[in-house]
Amino acid sequence: MGTLRFSPAVLLLMAPAFALYGLFFILPFVRTVYYSFFDWNGFSDPAFVGPANYAELIGDELFLRGVARAALWAALAVLLKVGSALVLAAMLRVPIAGSRIFTTAFFVPVVISSAAISLMFTLIYDLDAGLLNALLRAVGLASWTRSWLGDEATALLAVIAVPVWHTIGYFLVILLAAMQGVPKELYESAALDGAGRWIVFSRITVPMIWTTLQVCVVLAITAAFKSFDYVFVMTRGGPGTSTQVPATYMYETIFIGLKFGYGTAIAIAIFLIGLVSTVVFRRLTRPRSL
């Protein structure tokens, strides 16, 4: 392969994009790493403490429990969100009457802000006026009604259900586009051989879109570990700390506890967890050479 070269004109045209990327991503990231080695309240002079913030983080029970909740969130996101999108995309792979309307209906929630969706579900989960409890009473399951966001036993799962529902359409569109790019000849050959739907799905569809499916899983995992908005709007980490996740813990540490150094260490930890999770998943799922 030849060496990739850029002419001075191309580099000049790319310079504004690189400058913006460096200004709004690289520089803030470097400063975040820098302040994670300091004890700082945001007002006084920072005091260098080295890796002390990270050492404290390893033994921080609130942070570790938040990571465990985020890991559960990631697992459910992959199983329910990506899994449901994969099944729906397989069903819609062959266009039928109304399939576009069906796809659009699933995608519409994606364009609504997460804050608005969270507020909507806060009302749906309400103990007295919520739609969910009203439906349970209507079908004779009044004993199941509860304050879904106020009960420690159900609050976390109730919150996780919201982004799962909110973004299924996003992954549906991605996977459906990948499936429609699979050569039709493969499906025609499978049909001539008498292959059933499961064989076609597992032996043709999934392998042919495997790279796209990997991307979807990585997006679901990283979104779970850095998720903030749904929890912040719906529960603020409560009741107690039952829905506290690393991102909301970081927010409280920095803006309420005024521990900027420790809070930035949490931010870096979130980044590293997401990075390691992505690398491990890609290595575990990469094709094996014969």
**What is residue 2's predicted lDDT score, i.e. its pLDDT?**
52
What is the gyration radius of the CA atoms in the chain, in angstroms?
23
39 φ, ψ to 5°? Answer: -100, 115
pTM, rounded to two decimals = 0.90
pLDDT tens digits along 114-153: 999 999 999 999 988 899 999 999 999 999 999 999 999 9
Q: Which contiguous run of DSSP H or E holds residue 134? A: helix 131-138
Query: Band of the pLDDT at 6, cuts 50, 70, 90?
Result: low
Average pLDDT rounded to a whole number, residues 45-52: 94
Tokens of 114: 């997460």
Question: Is a pLDDT exceeding 90 seen at residue 100?
Answer: no
Residue 288 has pLDDT above 70, yes or no: no
Neighbouring residues of 172: CB distance < 8 A, sequence distance ≥ 6: 85, 88, 89, 92, 103, 106, 107
Domains and CATH numbers, the chain: 30-285 (1.10.3720.10)
Residues 168-197: what's their mean pLDDT? 90
- pLDDT for 289: 47
pLDDT of 290 reads 40
Mean pLDDT of 260-270: 95
Longest dimension (CA), the chain: 75
What tokens appear for 49 in the block?
Answer: 């403490």
Span 186-212, average pLDDT: 89
Mean pLDDT across the stretch 154-173?
Answer: 94
Task: Give the mean model confidence (pLDDT) for residues 153-173.
Answer: 94
Instruction: Tell me the two tokens of residue 270.
Output: 């979130």
Tell whether the model's pLDDT for residue 4 goes beyond 80.
no
CA distance 122 to 129: 11
> What are the beta bridge partners of residue 38?
48
Q: What percent of the chain clears pLDDT 90, i.e. is strictly above it?
A: 71
Q: What's the whole-number average pLDDT of the chain?
A: 90
**Rounded average pLDDT over 159-186:** 93
Residues forming beta bridges with residue 48, ordered by sequence position: 38
Question: In angstroms, rounded to a whole number, what is the distance separating the alpha carbons of residues 101 and 254?
Answer: 45
End-to-end CA gap in the chain: 24
- What is the reported pLDDT for 190? 87
Whether the pLDDT of residue 163 is over 90: the answer is: yes
Residue 110's contacts (CB-CB under 8 Å, 6 or more residues apart) are 166, 167, 169, 170
Task: Tell me the C-alpha distance between 32 and 9, whole Å.
Answer: 34
Contact between 191 and 184 (Cβ < 8 Å):
no
| Predicted local distance difference test score (pLDDT) of residue 88 | 92
Q: Between 96 and 232, where is the model more confident?
A: 232
Selection from 155, 152, 127 nearest residue 142 by Cα: 127
Q: What is the pLDDT of residues 201-249, one digit of tens each?
A: 999 999 999 999 999 999 999 999 999 999 999 999 989 999 999 999 9
Query: In the structure, what pLDDT confidence band is assigned to residue 252 with cuts at 50, 70 and 90?
Result: very high
pLDDT beyond 90 at 262: yes
For residue 281, give both structure tokens.
């998943």
